[in-house]
């Protein structure tokens, strides 16, 4: 192949690599503590859909491995209230 023939291929590869730069990639939330991750909640409105999905996936993974005490603390700090056992959930059955 001649240099003229290689140039378009090299340019295409360079553009593809530039498009997959870390600035375009979803953020990695796995290195954050649970408290740091909780602090991120509600701040991703202007982030990419990929970043919001990466956060959601990491949050769900963390929630599933928390003890009930940790979950309750996170919910309390986030202002989430759950019905106590024996209380009726006013949103039950609403879809």
Give the per-residue pLDDT at 87: 59
The domain ranges of the chain are 34-79
Note the pLDDT tens digit of each residue in 50-70. Answer: 999 999 999 999 999 999 999
Q: Which residues contact residue 84 at a Cβ distance below 8 angstroms, ignoring those fewer than 6 apart?
A: none
Q: Which residue has the higher pLDDT, 71 or 23?
A: 71
Neighbour tally for 94: CB within 10 Å: 6
Residue 11 confidence class, pLDDT cut points 50, 70, 90: very low
CA–CA distance, 5 with 64 (Å, rounded to integer): 53
């Amino acid at each position: 192949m001649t240099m003229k023939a290689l140039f378009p291929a090299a340019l295409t590869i360079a553009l593809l690599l530039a498009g997959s730069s870390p600035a375009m990639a979803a953020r990695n939330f796995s290195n954050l503590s649970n408290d740091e991750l909780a602090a991120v909640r509600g701040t991703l409105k202007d982030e990419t859909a990929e970043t919001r999905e990466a956060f959601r996936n990491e949050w769900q993974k963390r929630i599933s491995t928390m003890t009930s005490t940790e979950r309750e603390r996170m919910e309390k700090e986030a202002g989430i209230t759950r019905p106590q056992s024996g209380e009726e959930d006013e949103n039950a059955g609403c879809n």
